[in-house]
Amino acid sequence: MILCFFLAFLTTVPSVTSIQCHSCLTYCNTVNGKVDPINCDCTSPPNEQCTGNACFAKVEIFGSEHTAVVQKGCISDFPAGQRGCQYSNNKDTINCFCDQDECNTRHKLGSYIPSRLPSVDCCICNSHDGEDCESGCSRKCRGNYCVTDFEGKDLGCGLGYPKLPSFLRVDDYLDYEGDYMCTRYESSASHVMNGCVCTHPSGLCNEFNKTFNYQKKHVMERKNENLHYCYALTHRAYKPFGQEVFKKYATMSEREEHNIFFRSSTCDGHFCFISLTTSEIIVESADFRHNYEDHNEFVGAARPRFELQVGCLRVNGDDKVQTGCTVETQGNNSEVLAKHCICDSHLCNFHHLVRGTEDPRPKAAVPGVKQTTSQLNPVRLYTSNKEIDENDILSVMNGGEIIWSAVSGVVALVFMLL
Ligand SMILES: *[C@@H]1O[C@H](CO)[C@@H](O)[C@H](O)[C@H]1NC(C)=O
Ligand SMILES: *[C@@H]1O[C@H](CO)[C@@H](O)[C@H](O)[C@H]1NC(C)=O
């Protein structure tokens, strides 16, 4: 079952011809708070370029440091179907994508100037400031889309493309104009995203009560009898790590040092996801003066920072999600910068997806396989009587010590490349 899924997945990867992209990082001082395209452009010689289905250039503005950082590389597909340059949620991040050889230069990307999108009126409200966001729409803002955040009880406007459609891996975000894109996803209790983006042209589509009722009906109560359970964990480190982070119980030293007992758990949703990033963009002071205010020269850089988010995802319609993986790479050896996958079977969101290797888990221990042959509803079973299914899940999480240590050499190798 699991095997079939991956074979099917492999054959459905679109066969786009590969192109060469510049793979580099540069930084510059901002001009009036904006990126200076002339000083923030880099190219790489052919032997240092990466190969992908598309090229990207990402601009990150660090306003208080008056510094912009531009990172370039390769990507497996166009996030949310975006071509050209666009703000990502706010004016400090611009993402550009193109698909011709060496197209990720400022010339070919129109000096990173975002293209125009339709704008809409939205409700704006911030419950952190003590506002009552449930009683209608007292203040308005104008943006390219409206946002409702149920966790923080916030309403507002976003610029450019929201992050949600690229997280959901939809093909063409612009086709969803006038529609709601709503989700609830979590990787651990402290990492919950619960909200909607919408673009209805008549405006004010993010009014709290209306969106809340929509979310309840179309996200939280949708397909409740047909959910998948997924691994759930968050792990951050400055050093590469392997699949040991999926084991349920923390080691003795982790318990002592970090006061954690569990490394991972499970949750259920319409889909499972796994997301790995391997670096972060930072700016640091170019000199060593003591007071931060005295610093005026900053250097932009990428440094290793590994973050794994693994969890379950609910969404307001299976048409708003595409299973598979999006991967960003750099350099001539395809070093992975980020990899994000969505899958739709029990416990499918295991480490092998982001490592790009075969599933090392013993097949019999993968509960999804067993349960499809029985007439029991796996999720009900799990949520109503944890013991029954947890044995299966535990055998995956804790079992297979021998298998894991046998592949640990491979894991270490793979992470050298990451
Ligand atoms: C890959 O890039 C490195 C520099 O980043 C370079 O030294 C090396 O020669 C390149 N390898 C190939 C096969 O072009
Ligand atoms: C929204 O719902 C809350 C709580 O259910 C209610 O008190 C409030 O009056 C509603 N507001 C509107 C505008 O319907």
Ligand 1 neighbours by CB, cut-off 6 Å: 47-48, 331-332
Please tell me the predicted confidence (pLDDT) of residue 8. 39
| Strand ranges, E, within 63-144 | 67-75, 84-98, 120-123, 125-126, 140-143
Ligand 2, pocket-test mutation among 123, 125, 131, 134, most atoms within 8 A of CB: 134
Enumerate residues lining ligand 2, CB below 6 A.
Answer: 134-136, 209
Measured from the alpha carbon of residue 125, the closest ligand is 2
Name the pairing type of β-strands 324-330 and 298-315.
unpaired
In the three-class reduction of DSSP (H, G, I as helix; E, B as strand; rest coil), residue 378 is classed as: helix
Instruction: Report pLDDT for 16.
Output: 54
In this structure, are strands 265-269 and 228-237 parallel, antiparallel, or unpaired?
antiparallel
Q: How crowded is residue 371: how many other Cβ atoms within 10 Å of its Cβ?
A: 20
**Phi, psi dihedral angles at 384 (to 5 degrees):** -90, -25
pLDDT of residue 14: 47
What pLDDT, on a 0 to 100 scale, did the predictor assign at position 247? 87
Cβ atoms of 47 and 280 within 8 Å: the answer is no
Q: Is residue 114 part of a domain?
A: no
Distance 332 CA to ligand 1 centre (A): 6
DSSP sequence for 338-366? EEEEEE-STT---THHHHTS---S-GGG-
Distance 141 CA to ligand 2 centre (A): 21
Give me the pLDDT at residue 43, please.
97
Ligand 1 centroid from CA 239, angstroms: 24
Contacts of 321 (CB under 8 A, 6+ apart): 168, 169, 170, 270, 271, 313, 315, 342
Atom nearest to 333 CA in ligand 1: 1
Instruction: Count the domains in the chain.
Output: 2
State the alpha helices, DSSP H only, in 234-350.
Answer: 252-258
pLDDT value of position 162: 96
Is residue 124 one of the residues assigned to a domain? Answer: yes
Half-sphere exposure of 195 (CA within 13 A, CB side): 22
Q: Considering the domain boundaries, does residue 315 fall inside one?
A: no
Looking at residue 268, what is its pLDDT?
A: 93
DSSP class of 105: S
Supply the range of the domain harboring residue 398.
374-416
135-171: pLDDT as tens digits: 889 899 999 999 999 998 999 999 999 999 999 999 9
Distance 21 CA to ligand 1 centre (A): 14
Q: End of a domain among 220, 235, 259?
A: 220
Query: Is residue 208 assigned to a domain?
Result: yes
* Nearest-atom index, ligand 2, CA of 136: 13
Ligand 1, residues 23, 25, 48: which to mutate, most atoms within 8 A of Cβ? 48
Q: Name the DSSP letter for residue 247.
A: S
Q: What is the pLDDT, as a whole number, of residue 290?
A: 62
Query: How far does the centroid of ligand 2 lie from the alpha carbon of residue 213, in Å?
Result: 11
The last residue of one of the domains, among 220, 239, 272, is 220
Type of residue found at 246: F
In a domain, 64, yes or no: no
Domain annotation covers residue 277: no
Counting atoms of ligand 2 from 1, which one is nearest the CA of 208? 1
Mean pLDDT of all residues in the chain?
Answer: 82
Quick one: which ligand is closest to 47's CA? Answer: 1
Q: Is residue 136 part of a domain?
A: yes
Q: List all residues 6 or more positions away from 247 whose beta carbon is below 8 Å from its beta carbon.
A: 263, 264, 397, 398
Given a cut of 70, the residues of the chain with pLDDT beneath it are 1-17, 288-295, 364-418
State whether residue 280 is helix, strand or coil: strand
Among 155, 187, 220, which residue terminates a domain? 220
Task: Characterize the bridge pairing of strands 298-315 and 228-237.
Answer: antiparallel
Asked whether residue 344 is assigned to any structural domain, the reply reads no
Nearest CA to ligand 1 atom 9: 47
